[in-house]
């Protein structure tokens, strides 16, 4: 006859709803991230925790995908070898920084959108007629 041993029963985490093997009796959370999540949302009702956990995981996943896409885009150089500014706002900041160094010639720099890499660049060349018609800053 085999002596009865401890039964390895799986429990369900009340946050992420994953199954886990409890280490201590009465353990309700499977991991430290789940316990930390409950600490951060201690005023939430226990029945709302799984939905909140899933929403937080989805947000983190979307943010991760967005970060990875931006990193891939940043890693791709401009075919013309120019410095890339990924937003018009970043290009305007760079324009202001560069203009501080060359105050003797006001308005000699401008920003434009590069058709090759779809990013923004600075240039000291005068605007072309089609750029002037399209509007300031090369917005098209």
pLDDT tens digit string along 95-117? Answer: 888 887 776 666 778 888 888 88
110-113 vs 11-12, strand pairing mode: unpaired
- Supply φ then ψ for residue 111, to 5 degrees: -110, 155
CA 132, 133, 136, 139 dihedral sign is: negative
pLDDT digits (tens, 9 = 90+) for 28-73: 888 899 989 999 998 988 889 999 999 999 999 989 888 887 777 6
Higher pLDDT, 129 or 98: 98
Stronger pLDDT, 18 or 140, i.e. the higher one = 18
Average pLDDT over the chain, rounded to whole? Answer: 80
């Amino acid at each position: 006859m085999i002596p009865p041993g401890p039964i390895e029963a799986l429990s369900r985490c009340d946050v992420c709803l994953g199954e886990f093997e409890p280490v201590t009796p009465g353990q309700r959370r499977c991991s430290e991230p789940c316990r930390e999540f409950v600490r951060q949302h201690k005023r939430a009702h226990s029945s709302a925790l799984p939905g909140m956990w899933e929403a937080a995981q989805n947000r983190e996943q979307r943010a991760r995908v967005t970060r990875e896409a931006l990193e891939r885009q940043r890693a791709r150089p401009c075919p013309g070898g120019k410095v890339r500014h990924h937003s018009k706002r970043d290009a305007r900041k760079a324009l202001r920084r560069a203009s501080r160094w060359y105050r003797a010639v006001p308005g000699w720099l401008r920003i434009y959108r590069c058709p090759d890499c779809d990013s923004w660049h600075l240039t000291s060349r005068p605007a072309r007629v089609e750029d002037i018609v399209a509007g300031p800053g090369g917005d098209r």
